[in-house]
Amino acid sequence: MSLRGRTETTVRASSTTRLLVVMCAETCCALPADIIRGIITFEEAGSAEAVAALGATYPLRDMAGRFGLPHVSFAAESRIILCALGNFHKGYRVNQVLGLTDVESARIRPLPPQFSGPERKWFAGLFLFRETVALLVNPGWLLGEETDPAQLPQLGTTTVTALASSHAAGVERERPSHPPVEVLELEEAPDADDTPWVQL
Amino acid sequence: MLTTRRGSNSNITTTCTLVVFSIGGQRLATRTEEVGGVWPWTNAMPVPSGTAFMNALVRRGEDVLPVFDLAAKLNVRVRGATSLCLIATRKDGPMAIRIDEDIPTLHVVEQASIRHTTGANSEAVGTCEIGLDEVPIYSFRG
């Protein structure tokens, strides 16, 4: 009897998640790209409390305020990101959009166990991003509050006809009835890890 | 027949080694086995948090550590332009504590000289006389 070696090739599927990385005050936050419907400037949003776009109304709020942080002043690079999850829509003001990044699931770590409060619901994990760390925001929590659609028409709204980034265009390809118009152009560039990302 | 014999063993004193550091000019101590190292302080990223005094992350290479704001707990401000980062080892993992720029020192003290305390500061497990100061001894084990 002889032993016959057998070589098996194991193909490990590395799942990656595309994330939009933004600055919320001094904190680097990442949101799953598939909940992003558009990125608009403050000027486009106007002074209304909500933005109507792509057939939905997005109540606006500071992302920092969502975390209970004090209001921070916004600057020219500040943006509003329009998010949707199921029937829930929300627009969040952020201090800066840093870009898109594809992150392997294995690179996403849990929040250290020393954080034992509500932040464990807020953040699904963290990953190394450039020279710092990005916190992965839990989209279910982010969009899970104040989302009663019946309240939305009561808000003063600004209708935005020209919105969305090229990323949103990618997302919206599945919805041909609402073709987005690019306002922000995202330029692809490689980072040090050869991970594709996009920088404004 | 076995008899009990009192010998020189009864004179053996046990000692422990403390790391003495300062925050906001206050001297504090912790056991060396609870210290994972001392680094230069690097910028921490604030983390929105509902956990008391746990409000930032610090990155060092591939490592990411939570930051325990002991200065805020003690209601003091870290002193010095080049503050340091003390790594405290806990049961649930290491955490970073920003401390004054004064280099921490090692002190060997007798166990018997440590006065155990129970106070408002849950981390302070005792005090010990080091030099002229009565230095609180903190435990971060969690």
CA distance A83 to chain B (A): 20
Examine residue B6 and state whether it is found in any structural domain, yes or no: no
Give the number of residues written for chain A: 200
Q: What SS3 string covers A56-71?
A: EEEEEEEHHHHCCCCC
Q: What are phi and psi of A137, to 5 degrees?
A: -75, 135
Is residue B86 within 8 Å of residue B96, measured between CB atoms?
A: yes
DSSP A131: T
Give per-residue pLDDT as tens, A151-187: 433 445 667 654 444 443 333 333 333 333 233 334 4
Q: What are phi and psi of A34, to 5 degrees?
A: -75, -5
**Cβ-defined contact of A112 to B68 (cutoff 8 Å):** no
Give per-residue pLDDT as tens, B14-64: 999 999 999 999 999 999 999 999 999 998 999 999 999 999 999 999 999
Examine residue B52 and state whether it is found in any structural domain, yes or no: yes
Q: Could you tell me which of A195, A63, A58, A77 has the C-alpha nearest to residue A138?
A: A63
Which of B49, B59, B69, B95 would you mutate first to test chain A, the one with the most A CBs within 10 A? B49
| pLDDT value of position A192 | 39
Cα separation of A117 and B52, whole Å? Answer: 8
Give per-residue pLDDT as tens, B130-142: 988 899 999 988 6
Confidence class of residue B123 from pLDDT cuts 50, 70 and 90? Answer: low
More confident of the two residues A124 and B2:
A124
| pLDDT value of position B141 | 80
Which of A72, A98, A114 would you mutate first to test chain B, the one with the most B CBs within 10 A? A114
**Cβ-defined contact of B66 to A112 (cutoff 8 Å):** yes
Distances (CA, A) of B59 to B42, B66, B126, B140: 8, 9, 32, 20
Find how far residue A100's CA is from the centre of its chain.
9
Cα separation of A17 and A104, whole Å? Answer: 6
| pLDDT value of position A73 | 87
| pLDDT value of position A153 | 39
Cα separation of A135 and A157, whole Å? Answer: 30
| pLDDT value of position A160 | 66
Nearest residue of chain A to residue B68 (CA atoms):
A114
DSSP 3-state of A168: helix
Examine residue B121 and state whether it is found in any structural domain, yes or no: yes
Nearest residue of chain B to residue A107 (CA atoms):
B62
Q: A4-13, A48-57, B80-89: which range is least confident on average?
A: A4-13
| pLDDT value of position B4 | 55
| pLDDT value of position A200 | 35
Examine residue B10 and state whether it is found in any structural domain, yes or no: no
Give residue B116's domain range. 15-138
User: Among partner residues A112, A118, A123, which is closest to B93 by beta-carbon distance?
Assistant: A112
Q: Could you tell me which of A107, A143, A101, A139 has the C-alpha nearest to residue A123?
A: A139
Contacts of B54 in chain A (CB under 8 A): 114-117
Q: Which of residues 76-105 of B touch A (CB under 8 A)?
A: 90, 92-93, 95
Examine residue B71 and state whether it is found in any structural domain, yes or no: yes
Confidence class of residue A83 from pLDDT cuts 50, 70 and 90? Answer: very high
Q: Is the dihedral of CA B32, B34, B36, B40 positive or negative?
A: negative
Cα separation of B53 and B35, whole Å? Answer: 19
Examine residue B24 and state whether it is found in any structural domain, yes or no: yes
**Cβ-defined contact of B59 to A67 (cutoff 8 Å):** no
Q: Number of folded domains in chain B? A: 1
Provide residues of A within 8 Å CB-CB of chain B: 25-28, 64, 67-69, 109, 112-119, 122-123, 126, 128, 131-133, 135
| pLDDT value of position B103 | 96
E strand intervals along A34-151: 36-40, 50-53, 56-62, 79-85, 88-94, 96-104, 123-129, 132-137
Contacts of A26 in chain B (CB under 8 A): 45-46
Examine residue B77 and state whether it is found in any structural domain, yes or no: yes
Mean pLDDT over A97-119 rounds to 96
Examine residue B5 and state whether it is found in any structural domain, yes or no: no
Nearest residue of chain A to residue B62 (CA atoms):
A128
User: Among partner residues B47, B62, B66, which is closest to A27 by beta-carbon distance?
Assistant: B47
Those residues whose C-beta lies under 8 Å from the C-beta of residue B60, and which sit 6 or more positions away, are B39, B42
| pLDDT value of position B8 | 53
Does the pTM of the predicted model rise above 0.80? no
CATH number at residue B87: 2.40.50.180
Give per-residue pLDDT as tens, A6-48: 555 455 556 999 999 999 999 999 999 999 999 999 999 988 8
Confidence class of residue B13 from pLDDT cuts 50, 70 and 90? Answer: confident
Distances (CA, A) of B76 to B23, B25, B72, B99: 7, 8, 6, 11
**Cβ-defined contact of B47 to A25 (cutoff 8 Å):** no
